[in-house]
Structure 1
Amino acid sequence: MTTRSQREREHFDQLAEELGSVWWGSVTTAGQLRIDQRGALAARHGHLAPGKRALEPGAGNGEFTLRLAQSGADITGIEIAPKQVAIASRRLASYTNATVIEGDVGHLPFPEASFDAVVGNAVLHHFDPSQTLPEFYRVLKPGGYCFFTEPNMLNPQIAVEKNIKWIGRRLQNSPDETAFFRWQIARLLKRNGFREIWVRPFDFLHPGIPDSWIPAVQRLSNLLSQLPLIREIGGSLQICGRR
């Protein structure tokens, strides 16, 4: 019987072979813009800067790692799929402040208080939080920040693809991935010792929209992300906590 970790490894190794990526939505023009925006959010809320050390769990092929490295912080990514690690290593070859190693985020190979921040994009929903959140807390320095952007279960499309598995498979979901309600992930962070927790829904920019629509949809997304009630069904959540 395969474990969750084994299924994740096989899934993302297969995507590495087929796409050289981790998900179809990361290679479109809108998808790239979303990664840019999330990288900026992670740098801001993770307080990344030269002299800081950050961990990126579930680093995949290094796409998000590149954005994090631009902060000047030292970035260590950890990824379970060796074929994704190989792509990331090639992609990051010219970056002296970023590396991706192979490993399981449920059993981090780092001592306590090793990092100033733990940050990531669309990865928490692939993990077992009962294993990973205690590990993130353990390797964070006192006062260090944890920041992720993750799919929002209140978004209609996200709810359908995460709960109707055959639709999720067609959209390249891995077998065990899910999404979060904002109050659910906030409780999980609190249960695992984090403080100063906040979770904000945002983003109505779908990675599949045509390139010519992006400017208008981006403006609309920014507006909707500010409106009470409507923003609750945004596609993603910003999740932040502090040790």
Structure 2
Amino acid sequence: MSLSSSFGSAASAYARHRPDYAQAAVRWALEFAPGPRVLDLGAGTGKLAATLVAVGADVVAVEPDPAMLTELRRAMPAVRALPGSAEAIPLPDASVDAVVAGNALHWFDMAVAGPEIARVLAPGGVLAGLWNIMDDRIGWVADLERVSGSAAIGPRDTLTRWRAATAGMLIPSDGVAVRFGSAEQADFPHGQCRTADSLVATLATRAGMLVMPEPEREATLGRIRDFLGSRPETAEGEFTLPMLTGVLRARRR
């Protein structure tokens, strides 16, 4: 199983445990969109689509994984949800005012997806990637990152890593920047209420964890449980996990 195709095996857990997106981040992502039509690309179980609907967007969702698409349709029956991918978008030319991707843009083959995204966008339309990231400026979060390892907390899962990993995501060499202007980054507070058990369950839905051999996976999750149980911030009851929604946006030329 590849990393990008791993999520369908945990679609219901993904829907239960993954965070939604900060409304302020979504509004900033769509600030320059010429209209309300928004494509949620790689929409998963509808986490971002729900926030888009809440801020008044006219949403169509596209998702390649059948299990994720089923979960999305169950959770949001009023949203038009289609099978498809970033590399083959099942929409007409210039049919949306913004294309957004929640924790998904890094999975796209931008050499192919870039022209497809530009094709479906109206002139002046917006492309935006959004990621939910942990704030590693907080001491215990930085310690959790070290304990967890890269399978549970990957290259875009903390603020420091996200800034570095996405800064050059839309550069001329990927064939996208010729169609889009300069990209901008911004991040918005989005703390999440968690318990030690629910945070372990969330980290268990990371792609690296889903493809890990079971003994290694259980050992990693056990190490995380032990760490959370040892910290006064997380050992007892509910706590706020310091998170942010990071946004990378660019406008179609």
Instruction: Identify the TM-score tier after normalising by the shorter chain.
Output: 0.5 to 0.7
Is 1:8 matched up with 2:17?
no
Matches within 5 A, 1:102-113: 102-113=83-94
Structure 1's unaligned 5+ residue stretches are 222-234
Partner of 2:183: 197
In the TM superposition, residue 76 of structure 1 has moved relative to its aligned partner by: 0.7
In the TM superposition, residue 44 of structure 1 has moved relative to its aligned partner by: 3.6
Aligned partner of 1:13: which letter? G
Is 1:79 matched up with 2:75?
no
Structure 1 segments of 4 or more deviating over 6 A?
Answer: 155-158
Q: Secondary structure at the match of 2:56?
A: coil
Structure 2's unaligned 5+ residue stretches are 156-160, 200-232
Greater RCO between the two (CA within 8 Å, min separation 6)? Answer: 2
Partner of 1:114: 95
The answer (yes or no) to whether the contact 1:46–1:117 under 8 Å persists in 2 is yes
Aligned partner of 2:4: which letter? E
Aligned partner of 1:147: which letter? A
Task: Provide TM-score, normalisation by structure 1.
Answer: 0.64
Aligned partner of 1:146: which letter? L
The answer (yes or no) to whether the contact 2:41–2:86 under 8 Å persists in 1 is yes
Aligned residues: 198
Q: Secondary structure at the match of 1:135?
A: helix
For the pair shown, which has the larger CA radius of gyration, 1 or 2?
2
Is 1:241 matched up with 2:225?
no
Q: Secondary structure at the match of 1:104?
A: coil
Q: Determine which structure has the larger helix proportion and give its number.
A: 1
Aligned partner of 2:30: which letter? G
Task: Provide TM-score, normalisation by structure 2.
Answer: 0.62
Change (3 A) 1:129 1:200: same
Change (3 A) 1:193 1:63: same
Q: Secondary structure at the match of 1:8?
A: coil
User: In structure 1, how many angstroms separate the alpha carbons of the residues matched to 2:71 and 2:84?
Assistant: 15
Partner of 2:50: 66
Which of 129, 137, 150 is equivalent to 2:110? 129
User: In structure 1, how many angstroms separate the alpha carbons of the residues matched to 2:189 and 2:57?
Assistant: 26
User: In structure 1, how many angstroms separate the alpha carbons of the residues matched to 2:48 and 2:190?
Assistant: 20
